[in-house]
Chain A
Amino acid sequence: MTRVFLFHDVYAVYVWDERDGRHHRPHAHICVRGTRIATVFLETLDLYDESERIPKELMEEIGARQEDLVSLWIEVNENE
């Protein structure tokens, strides 16, 4: 499991090994103080399970790091 970055000391973005989690499309989890507040799919940047509004600036940061996040997902989930 990898915490990729912390945004404004509040929002933590994680990418992790999900090979046993029945998932195959790359995604990251957005958490605040130990609570997941949304899942973002890294190809489309679509949000699921948004329990609170995700700041536009955070989505821009995720967009700016999209290539890196996708590469990290591949590293963790596809390199066997």
Chain B
Amino acid sequence: MSDQVSLRWEQAGYSDVAAAARQGSDVGVEFANGDVVRIPAATFGVTDPDFDVEPGPDEGLNVRVTMSDGRTIDLSWTQIRSAHDPFFAQELRRRDAEQSKKVGLRLKALREDRNLNQRSLAEAVSMSAPQLSKIESGTSDLRVSTVQSLVRAMGAQMSDLAGPDALEVSRKNLRKRAEQAGVSADVMDRLVSFPPRGFLVRTLSQAFGWPQEAIVEGILETPQLNVAMRLKAHHPDPLQSPLIHLAYEAARAVRSGSSAPLYNGSSSDPAEIRSQAKDATGRVTLESLLDWMWGRGIPVVPLLGKSGFSAAVWSIDSVPIVVLKEARPLAVYWLFDLAHELGHIVLRHISDSSLVDIDAPRPDSSTDTDENAASAFALDLLLPGHRQMLADVRTQSRGSHLRFKFAVEDVAAKAGVSGGLLGMIAAYELVDIGEDKDRWGSASNLAKVDGHGRPVAEAVAGRYLPVETMSEIDATLIRAAILTGQAAIRE
């Protein structure tokens, strides 16, 4: 079928009856686009030889046939056109098939999300399971009343088959496919269950760049993010997780909707920042550093999710925005990662492109100059004089992991720094004391004292994110993936 033929029913006047009259034994109709058609009246079941034809009563959409006994038949334009135009009739069949397929798939998705098997649903509406299977595959010419019965039997409504969130795969399958595409279950669970009615597909599309029509069909392929960025990883060719797309979109939403002041540059001197960012006790804590950064116009986004990447710093309209993830939940790790990302900002590592740390930032052992510089900055900011502290821990440990924890606690207390933070750095660096598991066991115990990072980061972010004034889609994204309610746990 040529394009010209296939599109003619979309042209003006194709469906509009301009005039109608009897022409011999035919119904003659002139359409508004100039088409004149003649169809034997018998085609429409008219057997009375003494009939009459005139334009119908409904806005030029039909033709009225009147019999000699006064009875009337109204013929719609679709009846007339499909009786005369085989291409149009074929188009109607194609649309019907397309709709049957969609309805079948949506019925199946509804059933699966209600944890009903085919047999029990089929029994509920007095049909066989194979019949239902055919309906769900869209190959059966199902009656509309059957669709109604199936919808009711599932406790659903016809509106569940329609609208922007009517999926052709179950939400359960969507989660599975998202996981295969690299979206961790914790993120997907919230993004699937959180958005209000009508916002599911739009939110997922915004978050991961998946086309809306593809999401409805369950096809989840994340496009490359069209943003200048460098991926920092131990692996030479790291994968670009869909969560990086989510991180960028979250950062963009925060950039456009936060009440943070405009960033105006910052000193790169860790001592100077330390003096400004410390809390009342003289320590730089996760909360005090978050407060300082937001107050300086550097939003910090605590993004949901454990996998994909560790942290990132985006430059959006020349504003730096840090995204932290909970690869490691304890606050001391969040604090080190945050200081590391701040290092990238003040050392101007993002002047020409954004930066994504795929692996968790470490204080040591990177061959990447920027990574080493950012980690050195973080250590100077959080643990000034850390070399001496580590030497003291080594001395007091006297080579035994049994004394490691107490040595860290003692040195940290004297220096006025977090024992959890010093323990983490010492566990990385003092590899000659005990085995890894021993040092890290002690470090984790010490780190627990400072609690978890997400509640703190959400509480501070919540002060700068007036979601009620943002666009609906940005507010939904932020509520689903950033402000998850963890701040309330901390209160």
Per the 8 Å Cβ criterion, residues 34-79 of A in contact with B are 34-36, 41-46, 48-49, 51, 63, 66-67, 70-71, 73-74, 77-78
Per the 8 Å Cβ criterion, residues 45-91 of B in contact with A are 45, 56-62, 74-79, 82-83, 89
Interface residues on B, range: 35 or more
**Closest CB of chain A to B125's CB: distance in Å?**
15
The answer to whether A29 and B61 touch across the interface, beta carbons within 8 angstroms, is yes
The answer to whether A44 and B103 touch across the interface, beta carbons within 8 angstroms, is yes
The answer to whether B56 and A24 touch across the interface, beta carbons within 8 angstroms, is no
Q: Which of B161-169, B317-325, B430-438 contacts A (4 or more CB under 8 A)?
A: B161-169
Which residues does chain B contribute within 8 Å of A46, judged by CB atoms?
Answer: 99, 102
A16–B61 alpha-carbon span in the complex (Å): 11
Q: Is B442 an interface residue (CB 8 A)?
A: no
**Closest CB of chain B to A71's CB: distance in Å?**
8
The answer to whether B58 and A43 touch across the interface, beta carbons within 8 angstroms, is no
**Closest CB of chain A to B145's CB: distance in Å?**
5
Which of B76, B95, B148, B161 is in CB contact (< 8 Å) with A18?
A: B76
The answer to whether B76 and A21 touch across the interface, beta carbons within 8 angstroms, is yes
Q: How many chain A residues touch the partner (CB < 8 A)?
A: 38
Which of A14, A16, A43, A66 is in CB contact (< 8 Å) with B103?
A: A43
Which residues does chain B contribute within 8 Å of A3, judged by CB atoms?
Answer: 58
**Closest CB of chain A to B143's CB: distance in Å?**
6
Q: Is B158 an interface residue (CB 8 A)?
A: yes
Which residues does chain A contribute within 8 Å of B79, judged by CB atoms?
Answer: 18, 20-21
**Closest CB of chain B to A29's CB: distance in Å?**
7
A4–B420 alpha-carbon span in the complex (Å): 70
Q: Is A33 an interface residue (CB 8 A)?
A: yes
Known contacts A3-B58, A23-B78; A74/B145 CB under 8 A: yes
A12–B58 alpha-carbon span in the complex (Å): 10
Which residues does chain A contribute within 8 Å of B406, judged by CB atoms?
Answer: none
The answer to whether A74 and B59 touch across the interface, beta carbons within 8 angstroms, is no
**Closest CB of chain B to A25's CB: distance in Å?**
4
A52–B162 alpha-carbon span in the complex (Å): 21
A63–B145 alpha-carbon span in the complex (Å): 18
A34–B59 alpha-carbon span in the complex (Å): 4
The answer to whether B144 and A23 touch across the interface, beta carbons within 8 angstroms, is no
Q: Is B159 an interface residue (CB 8 A)?
A: yes
A67–B61 alpha-carbon span in the complex (Å): 24
Report how many A-B pairs have Cβ atoms within 8 Å.
Answer: 118
Which residues does chain B contribute within 8 Å of A78, judged by CB atoms?
Answer: 143-145
The answer to whether A21 and B162 touch across the interface, beta carbons within 8 angstroms, is no
Which of A31, A45, A67 is in CB contact (< 8 Å) with B59?
A: A31
Closest to A68 in B: B158
Which residues does chain A contribute within 8 Å of B83, judged by CB atoms?
Answer: 20
Q: Which of B9-17, B225-233, B305-313, B397-405 contacts A (4 or more CB under 8 A)?
A: B9-17
The answer to whether B16 and A36 touch across the interface, beta carbons within 8 angstroms, is yes
Tell me which of B15, B99, B161 has the highest count of chain A C-beta atoms within 10 A of its own C-beta.
B99
Which residues does chain B contribute within 8 Å of A73, judged by CB atoms?
Answer: 144
Q: Is B375 an interface residue (CB 8 A)?
A: no
The answer to whether A21 and B145 touch across the interface, beta carbons within 8 angstroms, is no
Closest to A73 in B: B144
The answer to whether B144 and A66 touch across the interface, beta carbons within 8 angstroms, is no
**Closest CB of chain A to B60's CB: distance in Å?**
4
A51–B106 alpha-carbon span in the complex (Å): 27
The answer to whether B158 and A24 touch across the interface, beta carbons within 8 angstroms, is no
**Closest CB of chain A to B13's CB: distance in Å?**
8
Which of B16, B96, B161 is in CB contact (< 8 Å) with A23?
A: B96
The answer to whether B144 and A34 touch across the interface, beta carbons within 8 angstroms, is no
Known contacts A22-B93, A24-B96; A31/B144 CB under 8 A: no
Known contacts A41-B99, A44-B103; A12/B163 CB under 8 A: no
Per the 8 Å Cβ criterion, residues 149-196 of B in contact with A are 157-159, 161-163, 166
Which residues does chain B contribute within 8 Å of A36, judged by CB atoms?
Answer: 15-16, 61, 77
Which of B10, B57, B95, B158 is in CB contact (< 8 Å) with A67?
A: B158
Question: 1/0 contact trace for B1-44 toward A, CB 8 Å?
Answer: 00000000110110110000000000000001000000000001
Known contacts A43-B147, A66-B158; A25/B60 CB under 8 A: no
**Closest CB of chain A to B395's CB: distance in Å?**
72
Q: Is B285 an interface residue (CB 8 A)?
A: no
Q: Beyond the given A34-B60, A36-B77, please list 17 additional residue pairs across the A-B interface where CB-CB is below 8 A.
A: A1-B61, A1-B76, A3-B58, A16-B74, A17-B74, A20-B83, A24-B141, A24-B144, A29-B61, A33-B59, A35-B60, A36-B15, A43-B99, A63-B162, A67-B157, A70-B158, A78-B143
Q: Which residues of A contact B (CB under 8 A)?
A: 1, 3, 12, 14, 16-18, 20-26, 29, 31, 33-36, 41-46, 48-49, 51, 63, 66-67, 70-71, 73-74, 77-78
A-B contact pairs, 21 of them (CB 8 A): A1-B58, A17-B76, A18-B78, A22-B93, A23-B78, A25-B100, A25-B103, A33-B59, A34-B60, A35-B15, A36-B15, A36-B61, A43-B162, A44-B106, A45-B163, A49-B9, A63-B162, A66-B159, A67-B157, A67-B158, A78-B144
